[in-house]
């Protein structure tokens, strides 16, 4: 009676975490601290609240699935400024689709592009291992084979392009890349992007680059796949990038992001949304328009995460393989056994963290996330410091 395709996945990470921790009693006197979820806990920008309220009268309208022209133009303008693109490279009418959060778009993208067969074989969706769980879910629900591409410290935690088999790439319909990556915070460089875009074009698959952490950085602004497209002549063929306001503007509850890229893919995505998309409410579209046009609130958000990483560096030093990621707000700590560490942190310190094994699938060399723990530095600095002090003390 039920769709059994997701049964081949290892399980939804947060359900697995609940199962692990529900059997453990945290200490009664300590306030629980949630550092397992990548949900920004910073105040909602005043610009978001004001714009939302100013557009209250629009709640009585169904929203246009393709977005208002104002929102599409604001997105194209932001992409052009952020990635130093020629003014005509992004056509707001053809290259942009608003999303009710990138999460839903990642799933809808698979439904939009994975065919029943690719070159006479079952279609394949490639994704890094470890990965953001929605990529695997989207692959499974679309009926594709799961093409897990190994990542490791030696590949800079990016999918190892040398490990890709040309025949399997011919079967590939969609390749998810995350940059800055969740969980490791790695940013692909221009040569990497160019090589992967070249493979997408040669083997005719869609490259979906999840860049939802692109605005959370401490040093140089992470480059994006569109910059590689620009350097390759400006065509967006076979490439789609996904962005979100959830992390950039600390509004994960607003449910607002977008996909931009190859006009045929955007059209196919909008067709799926016509049938099964909720649509972004008009007051939210107006708010998103204002937020994509503003940088001041983003700079303030970035300062908070930078301070969190300074605190982490001070408390963790060179323990647990600590490093400051190039992007995003996660620590990816090498603790030996992530499941054991997550259990101890909850039992002794009431701190919830996520075992790396839950973000990866078993591979021939074992589960590549098994030794790691993902810690989300999403709280204001004071709370972050409390959580990290408890963590350092318990795991030492
Ligand atoms: C890598 C990655 N992609 C996408 C998302 C989804 O973000 P949203 O749907 O809020 O835009 C998340 C959220 O944690 C994420 O970590």
Q: What is the CA radius of gyration of the chain?
A: 21
Are 177 and 277 part of one and the same domain?
Answer: yes
DSSP secondary structure string for all residues of 288-356: HHHHHT--HHHHHHHHHHHHHHHHHHHHHTTGGG----SSSSEEEEE-S-HHHHHHHHHHHH-EE-EEG
What is the pLDDT, as a whole number, of residue 156? 86
Are 73 and 181 part of one and the same domain?
Answer: yes
Q: Average pLDDT in the 357-380 region?
A: 96
Domain stops at, among 245, 263, 294? 294
Domain stops at, among 233, 261, 294? 294
Q: Average pLDDT in the 294-306 region?
A: 97
Q: Report whether residue 132 contacts ligand 1, using a CB cutoff of 6 Å.
A: yes
Are 277 and 312 part of one and the same domain?
Answer: no
pLDDT at 174 over 90: yes
Question: In angstroms, what is the span from residue 119 Cα to ligand 1's centroid?
Answer: 31
Q: Average pLDDT in the 6-11 region?
A: 88
How far, in Å, CA of 373 to CA of 308, rounded? 17
Band of the pLDDT at 155, cuts 50, 70, 90? Answer: confident
What is the pLDDT, as a whole number, of residue 352? 98
Could you read off the pLDDT of 249-298 as tens digits, one per residue? 999 999 999 999 999 999 999 999 999 999 999 999 999 999 999 999 99
The answer to whether 149 and 127 have CB atoms below 8 angstroms apart is yes
In the chain, where does DSSP find H-type helix? 13-22, 46-54, 69-82, 102-113, 133-141, 166-171, 190-203, 225-231, 245-248, 263-276, 282-292, 296-316, 338-349, 381-395
Question: In angstroms, what is the span from residue 38 Cα to ligand 1's centroid?
Answer: 8
What is the pLDDT, as a whole number, of residue 154? 83
Neighbours of 29 (CB within 10 A): 6
Q: Average pLDDT in the 105-115 region?
A: 98
Domain stops at, among 270, 294, 318? 294
Domain that holds residue 158: 46-294
Are 93 and 125 part of one and the same domain?
Answer: yes
pLDDT at 124 over 90: yes
How far, in Å, CA of 53 to CA of 5, rounded? 42
Q: Report whether residue 328 contacts ligand 1, using a CB cutoff of 6 Å.
A: no
Are 112 and 136 part of one and the same domain?
Answer: yes
The total number of structural domains in the chain stands at: 2
What percent of the chain shows pLDDT beyond 70? 100
Could you read off the pLDDT of 31-69 as tens digits, one per residue? 999 999 999 999 999 999 999 999 999 999 999 999 999
What is the pLDDT, as a whole number, of residue 52? 98
The answer to whether 260 and 267 have CB atoms below 8 angstroms apart is no
Are 24 and 173 part of one and the same domain?
Answer: no
Question: In angstroms, what is the span from residue 28 Cα to ligand 1's centroid?
Answer: 33
Q: Report whether residue 330 contacts ligand 1, using a CB cutoff of 6 Å.
A: no
Q: Is the full-model pTM beyond 0.95? A: yes
Tokens 């009926």 sit on residue: 143
pLDDT at 311 over 90: yes
* 261 Cβ neighbours under 8 A, 6+ residues apart: 95, 226, 236, 239, 240, 241
What is the pLDDT, as a whole number, of residue 306? 98
Burial (CB count within 10 angstroms: exposed 0-12, middle 13-18, buried 19+), residue 143: middle
What is the pLDDT, as a whole number, of residue 344? 98
Are 189 and 287 part of one and the same domain?
Answer: yes
Q: Report whether residue 151 contacts ligand 1, using a CB cutoff of 6 Å.
A: no
Burial (CB count within 10 angstroms: exposed 0-12, middle 13-18, buried 19+), residue 226: buried
Are 278 and 310 part of one and the same domain?
Answer: no
Tokens 């081949």 sit on residue: 8
What is the pLDDT, as a whole number, of residue 71? 98
Number of the ligand 1 atom closest to the C-alpha atom of 182: 1
Q: Report how far apart, in Å, the C-alpha atoms of 96 and of each of 82, 197, 241, 383 are.
A: 15, 19, 10, 38
Helix (H, G, I), strand (E, B) or coil at 208: strand
pLDDT at 153 over 90: no
Q: Report whether residue 252 contacts ligand 1, using a CB cutoff of 6 Å.
A: yes
To test the pocket of ligand 1, the residue of 138, 182, 209, 213 to mutate (highest count of ligand atoms within 8 Å of its CB) is 182
The DSSP output letter for 223 is P
Are 21 and 108 part of one and the same domain?
Answer: no
Are 225 and 158 part of one and the same domain?
Answer: yes
Q: Report whether residue 182 contacts ligand 1, using a CB cutoff of 6 Å.
A: yes
Are 270 and 193 part of one and the same domain?
Answer: yes
Are 281 and 331 part of one and the same domain?
Answer: no
Q: State the CATH number of the domain containing residue 35.
A: 3.90.1150.10
What is the pLDDT, as a whole number, of residue 8? 86
Question: In angstroms, what is the span from residue 39 Cα to ligand 1's centroid?
Answer: 9
Q: State the CATH number of the domain containing residue 174.
A: 3.40.640.10
């Amino acid at each position: 009676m039920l769709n059994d395709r997701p049964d081949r996945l290892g399980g939804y990470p947060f359900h697995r975490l609940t199962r692990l921790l529900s059997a453990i009693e945290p200490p009664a006197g300590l306030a629980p601290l949630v550092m397992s979820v990548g949900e920004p806990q910073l105040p909602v920008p005043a610009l978001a609240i004001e714009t939302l309220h100013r557009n209250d009268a629009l709640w009585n309208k169904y929203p246009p699935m393709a977005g208002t022209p104002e929102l599409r133009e604001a997105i194209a303008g932001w992409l052009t400024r952020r990635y130093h693109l020629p003014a005509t490279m992004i056509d707001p009418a053809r290259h942009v689709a608003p999303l009710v959060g990138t999460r839903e778009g990642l799933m809808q993208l698979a439904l939009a592009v994975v065919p029943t067969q690719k070159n006479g074989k079952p279609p394949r969706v490639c994704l890094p291992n470890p990965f953001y769980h929605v990529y695997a879910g989207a692959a499974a629900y679309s009926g594709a084979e799961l093409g897990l591409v190994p990542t490791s410290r030696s590949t800079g935690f990016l999918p190892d392009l040398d490990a890709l088999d040309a025949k399997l790439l011919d079967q590939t319909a969609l390749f998810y890349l995350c940059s800055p990556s969740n969980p490791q915070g790695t940013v692909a460089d221009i040569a990497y992007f160019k090589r992967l875009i070249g493979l997408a074009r040669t083997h005719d698959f869609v490259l979906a680059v999840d860049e939802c952490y692109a605005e959370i950085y401490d040093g140089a602004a992470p480059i994006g796949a569109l910059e590689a497209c620009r350097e390759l002549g400006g065509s967006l063929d076979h490439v789609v990038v996904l962005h979100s306001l959830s992390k950039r503007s600390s509004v994960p509850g607003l449910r607002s992001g977008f996909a931009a890229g190859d006009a045929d893919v955007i059209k196919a995505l909008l067709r799926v949304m016509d049938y099964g998309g909720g649509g972004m409410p008009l007051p939210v579209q107006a708010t998103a328009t204002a937020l994509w046009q503003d940088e001041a609130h983003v700079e303030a958000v970035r300062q908070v995460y930078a301070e969190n990483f300074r605190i982490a560096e001070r408390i963790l030093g060179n323990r647990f393989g600590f490093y400051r990621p190039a992007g995003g707000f996660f620590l990816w700590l090498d603790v030996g056994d992530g499941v054991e560490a997550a259990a101890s942190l909850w039992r002794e310190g009431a701190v919830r963290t996520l075992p790396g094994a839950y973000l990866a699938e078993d591979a021939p060399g074992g589960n590549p996330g098994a030794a790691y723990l993902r810690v989300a530095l999403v709280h204001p600095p004071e709370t972050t410091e409390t959580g990290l002090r408890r963590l350092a003390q318990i795991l030492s």
